[in-house]
Amino acid sequence: MAKVVKVQTEFEGRFYEETIVVEGTEVEPWAPEQPLKLVGRPVPRVDGPEKVTGRARFTHDVRLPGMLHGKILRSPHPHARIKRLDTSKAERLPGVRLVLSHQNAPEIPWFRGQTRLFDTTVRYVGDEVACVVADDEETAEEALRLIEVEYEPLPFVVDPERALEPDAPRVHESQPNNLVNGEPEVYERGDVQQGFAEADVVVEGVFRTQTALHNCLETHGSVAHWDGDSLTIWDSTQHVFGVRFQLARALGLPLHKVRVIKRHMGGGFGSKNQAGKYAAIAALAARMTGRPVKIVLDRFEENLATGNRPATIQTLKLGAKRDGTLTAIFHKSILNAGAYAVWAPSASGPTKRLYACPNVRTEDWAVFTNLGPFSAFRAPGYVEGTFALESMMDELAKALGLDPLELRLKNYAEIDPITNKPYTTKGLRQAYERGAQLIGWAERAHTKRARSKGPKRVGFGLASQIWGGSGGPPAYALVKLNPDGTATVVTGTQDIGTGTRTALAQIAAEALSFPLDAVEVELGDTQWGVYAPLSAGSMTLATVGPAVRAAAEDAKKQLLDVAAQLLELPKEGLRVEDGHIATPKGERLPVAEVLRPLGNFQIVGKGARGPNPDDKNVNTFGAQFAQVEVDVETGEVRVEKIVAVHESGRVVNPLTIRSQLYGGVIMGLGYALLERRLDDPRRGLPVTPTLETYKVLTVADVPEIVAEMVDLPDPEANPIGAKGVGEPPIIPTAAAIANAVADALGVRVYELPLSPDRVLAALRGAQAKKDEEEGEEGEAS
Amino acid sequence: MAKAVRAEPEPELEVPVPVRGPERGPIKLRVNGEKHELWVEPRRTLLDALRDDLGLTGAKKGCDEGTCGTCTVLLDGKPIYACLRLAIECEGHEITTIEGLAQGGELHPVQRAFIEEDALQCGFCTPGQILSVKALLDENPNPTEEDVRRAVSGNLCRCGAYPHIVRAALRAAKGLAERPGR
Ligand code: FES
Ligand code: FES
C-alpha cells in the first residue's frame, strides 16, 4: 500500500524536508558475499551498437514533416527595459511563420516568478526577448536581424561583492539586498569562537573559483508537436517527468496531455535538470502555427543562457591542536548566482561533513548579479568547496609539520557530523590506503628529488570527497515478461550517457535469472514509463535500480506461480535458471516452452523504490592523488598522473563505471587548469562563449589516470547495494592538483584555474615576502 | 568561399563559369557510395545537407563553427569538419558518414572496438571519433598511442571518454592487423 511520509532527503549535496509517497516492495538485499552472475560484470553498453552506427536518435536529430525552426533573439544588455519592440519587418520576410514576444505570448512566470517567458525587463546578456519561427534556420536567423528593439539600459552589477553593497544596483526590484532568498544560509554547531580559542594553530585563506560552462556537446533544444490537444515534446533533458510537469503547468494543460521523450542526449551535467524556456516557446509556437517546431540553441546561446558553475569567493579558517585534531572551522562563501535562481548550491557542504570537528560555522551568500543564471553543474558547490577546504587542510598540515594524509586520518569522521548517525558503509579509509599505494605516496620525497630538474618541480597532492548519491523514493518500474521468454523493463527514468540502460538491464536480468540479451530496457518516455525522478545528484542507479529489481522479482514470482500450475509441480521446488525453469528432478525447460500453452499473454511485474534507512547515513566517498610537474619559469602546470579511488557501494558494471570515473576526473582536470568564462565587467558581457575561446580538454591534454573502486556492497542502503558515482570523481580533482602544485612550489595558488600567470604571481609573491623578511632581518641586526 | 559563386565570369575564360545561387539549385553528392541529387541554396553546408536533406543524422552539430569535431565525416577518406564545407564544394568527391561504415549488418572493427572498450558515454561525439580513427587506420594500420592522440585531437568529448577512445583505436588496429587476408 502506498504510504505518505515526511522524510529528510538529500539532493545535490543539500538536505530537504519532503513529503513523499513510499510504496515498499519488500525485497531482500543481495548480500555482499552472494555470488551474482551479471551484476558486477563488465558488460558492454547495451546501446553501444546504436551509438557507434549513428542510429542513436538525439533530440537534435528529430525531424518531423512540416517542421518549422525557431531562433531566439536575446538581450545584448546586462540590464534594460524594453521600450519598443517592432517585429513587423521580420514578420514580412518570406518564410517567416511567426514572431513571438511579450506582445503576443501569454504571460508565463519563469524562475518562480522572477521573470516571465518573455519579460519586458531583461537582466543579463542572453535573456530571451523574442523568437522567430520560420521554414528553416537560416531564414529565422535572418529575421532576427530585422526585429527592432529599443532598450532603456538600466544600472547593472556583475561583481557579487559589489552587489552586496547597500547602494548597488538591484537585479530584482523585489530583492533590495540582491541575496537569493533574502539572507545568507547559516549553519552552526558547537561554539566556533571557543574552538578557535582552544586551537594551537589557526590557518586562514581566501579562495576564488571561476565560472565554468557545461558545454554539453549536444546543445539544449526541443521539438514540439501537437496532435489535437495533446502535446509531444522531444527534449534534451535529464528529467522527462520534470519537463512534463513544468510544461503542463506553464501551458495550463493536464499532465496526461503532455508527453516528453528523450531517447539519447549529448550530455547534461546538471544543466538539463529543468525545462528551458525554449521548450515552452516551441510548444506555444507549434500550437500557434499548427506545425511542429524545433528550437535548438547554438553554441553561443548555450554558453550565455543555459547555466554555469557559478564563481565563488570563499574565506576559510581552520583551528587545530598540535596533534592535528580540528577544533574549529569557519567557512564563508559568496556565490555569483547570476540573474535568476530558485535554489543555490552550497560550497560549505564538505566543510560541514567531511571531518569530525565539534565547532563549525558556515555562511553561504548566494548573490544575484546581471550575468547568466547558474545551474547545477556536476556536484554543485562541492567541487568549489572541496577545493577550498582541502587546500586549507594542506596548509594546516604544513603549519603543523604533519603528513597531509595523516592529518586527514586524524580527523576521520566515523559518524556523520551533521546528523550524528553512522554510515551504512564508508570506504574512505580504504580509498586513502589504495590511492596512496598507487601514487607512491610514501616514496614521494624521493620521487620529487629524483624528478625535479632545472626549472621543473615535481609535487604530490591529495584530496578527499564526500557526496550523497543515496537516491531514494519515489521511483517505479515495470517488468513485462513475454511468452517467448523475453522481458521488457519499463521505467520513466532516462540514460543521460552514464550507462543507466545497461545497469538496469543487468539488474533485471540478474533478478529474473534471464540471459542479458533477453532483456530490453525502455526509458526516457513519460507516456510509456512509470514515474522516476530526474537523473542528477548521482542518484539514478540507487533510485531506479531497486525499483527495477523489485519489479523483476515480482515478475519472476508470478512466472514461477504460472509454471507450477502448468507443470503441475509444487511451486517451492521450481527455480528460474538462465531463462529456463529448473525442476527438482533436474529438468531445465526453456521459459518459452513452459508458457506455450498460454498463447499470447504477458506477466507484468511491478516494483517501487522503498525508503532509505532512517537510522543511518548513506554517502559516497573517495580520495584522489595527483602528481604534477610545474615549470617555475613559464608557470605551466603539467599533471603527470591522477589516481582516483572511490567508494560508492556495489559496482554494478566495472567497465562503464570506469568511464564515469575517467569522465569526472577529466572534467575536474579541465576545471583545475584551463576552463573559465571571462566576463567584461564594464559591459556585463561574457567574452568566451564559444569552444574556441572557452577551452575544454582534448585527448592531448589527458595524463595517465588510474581509476579504481572500493567495491563495498552496501545492503543497508538499498536492495541492490549500489550508490551513485556520476559526481564523486569530479569533486576532489582540482583540490588534489592544487595541493600537488603547492607541494611542488612551496607556495599556494588560491585561485582556479591554476593558470601560468597565477603560478608565476604566487612565486613572485613568495619571493617578495622572502626578500622583505630578509631585509627586515638585516635591519634588525 | 567556394569559387563557383563568383558574380561575374572572368573575361579571359572562354566558357563562362555558371553562376549558382543565391537561389536553390541542383547539386550532386556521392555519399556512402550512393548518388544523391539535392535542391539547395549554395550556402548550405555539407553538414546541413547530410542531416536535413539526406536524413543522415549520424554527423552531429555541436558548434557549427569548426571547434568540436562532432560533424566529422570523410571526404575522399580524409576526415573533415562537415560544418566548415559547403555542400557544393563536395561535388565530385566521395563522402563517407558513420552510416556508411557497417557493411551488410557487420560493424566495422573500429565500431566494435568502441563498444568493447566503452569508448563513449553519451555517444554524441562518437560518430566523429570513430571516423577520425578509421581515417587514421586506413592510412597507418600500425599507429602508436601518440598517433592516435593526434588523430582524434580535433574531436572533443565532454564526457571524457578519451582514455577509452585511445584504447579502442589501438584495439581496432590490432584486430584489423590480425584479420585474415590482410
Ligand atoms: S559542428 Fe563542426 S566542428 Fe563543431
Ligand atoms: S561520449 Fe559524450 S561527448 Fe563524447
pLDDT tens-digit series, residues A690-732: 999 999 999 999 999 999 999 999 999 999 999 999 999 999 9
Rg (C-alpha) for chain A, rounded Å, is 28
A487: confidence class by pLDDT, cuts 50, 70, 90: very high
For A422, the grid coordinates are 553512522
Residue with cell 523493463: A489
The Cα A58–Cα A272 span in angstroms is 14
Check CB contact under 8 Å for B115 and A52.
yes
* CA A495 to ligand 1 centroid distance, Å: 24
Query: What pLDDT, in 10s, does the model give residues A257-269?
Result: 999 999 999 999 9
CA A663 to ligand 2 center in whole angstroms: 9
Domains of chain B, residue spans: 25-100, 109-178
- For residue range A747-774, what is the model confidence (pLDDT) as tens digits? 999 999 999 999 999 999 999 998 988 8
DSSP assignments along A723-745, one per residue? ---SSGGGTTHHHHHHHHHHHHH
Q: Measured between alpha carbons, how far is residue A42 from residues A218, A506, A512, B92 in Å?
A: 27, 10, 19, 45
How does the average pLDDT of chain A come out, rounded? 96
B154 alpha carbon – ligand 1 mean position (Å)? 10
**Dist. CA A677–CA A311, nearest whole Å:** 9
Q: Contact A168/A347 with Cβ under 8 angstroms?
A: no
User: Any residues with CB less than 8 A from the CB of A150 and at least 6 apart, and which?
Assistant: A82, A83, A84, A85
CATH architecture type of domain A62-154+220-296: Alpha-Beta Complex (3.90)
d(C-alpha A774, C-alpha A686), whole Å: 43
Looking at CA atoms only, how far is residue A544 from chain B in angstroms?
19
How many residues appear in chain B? 182
- Residue A744 sits at the vertex; the CA angle it makes with A742 and A746, to the nearest 5 degrees, is 55
Q: What is the pLDDT of residue B182?
A: 42
- Domain A180-217+309-420 in this protein, CATH class: alpha beta
Domain formed by B109-178, architecture: Orthogonal Bundle (1.10)
The Å distance, Cα A42 to ligand 2 centre, comes to 20
Which residue stretches of chain B have pLDDT < 70? 1-18, 179-182
| Alpha-carbon gap, residue A239 to A254, rounded angstroms | 18
A54, B161: Cβ pair inside 8 Å? no
Predicted pLDDT of residue A22:
74
pLDDT at B3: 39
**Separation between Cα atoms, residue B90 and residue A538, nearest integer Å:** 45
Pairwise CB contact (< 8 Å): A699 & B120: no
Q: For position A779, what pLDDT does the model report?
A: 60
Instruction: Give me the architecture of the A2-58+471-608 domain, per CATH.
Output: 2-Layer Sandwich (3.30)
Is residue A275 a contact partner of residue A537, using CB atoms and an 8 Å limit?
Answer: no
- Is the complex ipTM higher than 0.90? yes
Q: What is the pLDDT of residues A398-433, one digit of tens each?
A: 999 999 999 999 999 999 999 999 999 999 999 999
Q: Can you give the pLDDT at residue A619?
A: 97
How many Å lie between the centroid of ligand 2 and the Cα of residue B160? Answer: 7
- Stretch A380-403: mean pLDDT: 98
Here the cell at position A540 is: 539514478
In terms of phi and psi (left: phi > 0; alpha: psi -120 to 50; beta: otherwise), the region of A579 is left
Cβ distance of A699 and B62 shorter than 8 Å:
no
Which residue in chain A is spatially nearest to B111 when comparing CA positions?
Answer: A52
Closest of A619, A615, A617, A668 to residue A648, by C-alpha: A619
Q: A with B: how many residue pairs have Cβ under 8 Å apart?
A: 174
Q: How far is B13 from chain A (nearest CA, A)?
A: 34
Stretch A431-438: mean pLDDT:
98
Q: What angle do CA A341, A181, A357 make, to 5 degrees?
A: 105
Q: Clarify whether A727 is annotated catalytic.
A: yes
**Which residue, judged by its Cα, is nearest atom 3 of ligand 2?**
B157
* Atom of ligand 1 lying closest to residue B72 CA: 2
Q: What is the pLDDT of residue B12?
A: 56
Ligand lying nearest the CA atom of residue B48:
1
Q: Is A766 buried (19+), middle (13-18) or exposed (0-12) by CB count in 10 A?
A: middle
The CA distance from A200 to the nearest CA of chain B, in Å, is: 44
- Rounded to whole angstroms, the Cα distance separating B169 from B153 reads 13
Spatial contact of B107 and B168, defined as CB atoms under 8 Å apart: no
Domain ranges of chain A: 2-58+471-608, 62-154+220-296, 180-217+309-420, 425-470+614-781
Contact B65 A667 (CB under 8 A): no
Residue A17's pLDDT band (cuts 50, 70, 90): confident
Nearest CA in chain A to B48: A137
Taking the CA of A663 as reference, the closest ligand is: 2
A149-198 tens-digit pLDDT: 999 999 999 999 999 999 999 999 999 999 999 999 999 999 999 999 99
Contact call for A54 and B97, based on CB within 8 A: yes
C-alpha distances in angstroms, A700 versus A88, A470, B118, B136, B145? 50, 35, 19, 16, 11
Specify the ligand 1 atom closest to the Cα of B63.
4
**DSSP letter string, A579-648:** TEEEPTTS-EEEHHHHHGGG-S--EEEEEE--PPPSSSB--EEEEEEEEEEEETTT--EEEEEEEEEEE-
Q: What is the pLDDT of residue A25?
A: 66
Contact (CB, 8 A) for A614 and A472: no
Distance, in angstroms, between B9 CA and closest chain A CA? 27
Judge: domain B25-100, CATH 3.40.50.2300.
Answer: no
Minimum CA–CA partner of A704 in chain B: B163
Assigned C-alpha cell, B73 = 565525416
Interface test with A, best of B47, B124, B149 (most A CBs within 10 A): B124
Measured between CB atoms, which of B107, B114, B156 is closest to A217? B156
Where does A425-470+614-781 sit in CATH, by number? 3.30.365.10
Same fold, A2-58+471-608 and A425-470+614-781: yes
Over residues A278-295, mean pLDDT: 98
CB contact burial A259-290 (16+ within 10 A = b; e otherwise): bbbbbbbbbbbbbbbbbbbbbbbbbbbbebbe
Which ligand sits nearest to residue B156's alpha carbon? 2
pLDDT tens digits, residue range A60-79? 999 999 999 999 999 999 99
